Structure 1
Amino acid sequence: MSKLRVGTIWLDGCSGCHMSFLDMDERIVELSQYMDVVYSPYVDAKEIPEDLDLFIVEGALSTDHDLEIIKDIRKNSKKILALGDCAITGNVSAMKNLAGTDAVLEKGYFDLADFNKGKYPDKIIPKLLDKVIPLNEAIDVDYFVPGCPTPADAIYAVLKGLVDGVEVDVSKYTRFGL
């Protein structure tokens, strides 16, 4: 049996779900018998590889750069797993939607700035979207695993289920906000 080629990324989120991934501890070694993580903050790959079996995505989409990346990920991946509440609903990242992009930029780059006050660094910072969105508003998503952060037990159960070809009732392991 060949190993699944897996990628992971966090976009607009806190990386808490990736920390939970690491909290699987010795179960990571077990899963490594069935999966090769070929793109991730954990490895040194610079480009999203082609022909991935599974891409695990944490975080919402808040910039034009996020949109480019997620479309590239979808194009190169057979399956996408939205990991955590930010990827599924926008969660904390989407709080910006209440105030609006202009208000957020005004506060961050004009009102609270100590350096370059009044100048948005548009050459080095990706352009903010008008609205922070969850993954499924930009691409088709195959699996949803909620949590903030997603518990390690839920991540393990879902990944082991995918390896074994068994559907996992994720509600036994997590819920939104837990």
Structure 2
Amino acid sequence: MAALRPRIATVWLDGCSGCHMSLLDGDERLMELAEKIDLVYGPLVDTPDFPEEVEITLVEGGVSTDDDIRKLRLLRKRSNILVSFGDCAVTANVPGMRNEFRLGEVLQRAYLENVSWRPSIPVAGVPVLKPHVRPLHEYVEVDAFLPGCPPPAMAIWYMLSELIEGRLPELGNRTRFGA
């Protein structure tokens, strides 16, 4: 009987999707990876609910809403290994730039001052922002950190390859904050 392939998921919270774009930059390495894993959830996978028993979950973006916190706690519960994927997940990075301002000021600037047609602060259909954006590890235990804005495709491939083999990767000079 063939061994089961590890179930991998990717998630996008408050960020720009640059980490996911960098993952796609892996080109031919993606095909090599696809032979070793089952991608069970992510922005490019048509699955509405986060599955049970995921081996590795890469989480991109900072935590900026109560919905993000609920989702992150579910991811932690259902994932064997949770990876803080990119600078926004590791430090809050760009989304966290709003932390220097009061939330009301941010909403005023974004939805009233910078809008020429029907300015209004949204109240329906969008999650309510928390006063500050925070990194993942302030809410759940994180098993591995992959910095970079975005992390280079080869660093992502290396991280996943090592985790799949049961090793915690030593990233050394493969990536750095802001790289």
Short-chain TM bin: over 0.9
**Any stretches of 5+ residues in structure 1 without a counterpart?**
none
Q: Secondary structure at the match of 1:62?
A: strand
TM-score (norm 1): 0.94
RMSD (CA atoms): 1.2
**1:4-153 to 2 correspondences below 5 Å:** 4-117=6-119, 119-153=120-154
Larger CA deviation: 104-113 vs 93-102: 104-113
TM-score (norm 2): 0.94
Larger CA deviation: 25-34 vs 152-161: 25-34
How many pairs align?
177
Alpha-carbon separation, structure 1, partners of 2:167 and 2:112: 52
Structure 1 residue 115, shift from structure 2 partner: 3.7
Q: Secondary structure at the match of 2:172?
A: helix
Alpha-carbon separation, structure 2, partners of 1:122 and 1:128: 11
**What is the identity, as a one-letter code, of the residue corresponding to 1:126?**
P
Alpha-carbon separation, structure 2, partners of 1:166 and 1:79: 11
**What is the identity, as a one-letter code, of the residue corresponding to 2:130?**
L
**Any stretches of 5+ residues in structure 2 without a counterpart?**
none
Instruction: Give the 4+ runs in structure 1 shifted more than 6 A.
Output: none
Identity %: 42
Alpha-carbon separation, structure 2, partners of 1:66 and 1:167: 26
Structure 1 residue 109, shift from structure 2 partner: 2.2
Deviation per CA, 1:83-118: give whole Å up to 9, x if none: 10000000011000011211101112222233443x
Larger CA deviation: 48-57 vs 166-175: 166-175
Alpha-carbon separation, structure 2, partners of 1:166 and 1:53: 13
Alpha-carbon separation, structure 2, partners of 1:74 and 1:164: 20
Structure 1 residue 128, shift from structure 2 partner: 0.3
**What is the identity, as a one-letter code, of the residue corresponding to 1:41?**
P
**What is the identity, as a one-letter code, of the residue corresponding to 1:170?**
L
Structure 1 residue 156, shift from structure 2 partner: 0.8
Deviation per CA, 1:13-67: give whole Å up to 9, x if none: 1111101111111111111222111001111011111111111101101122211
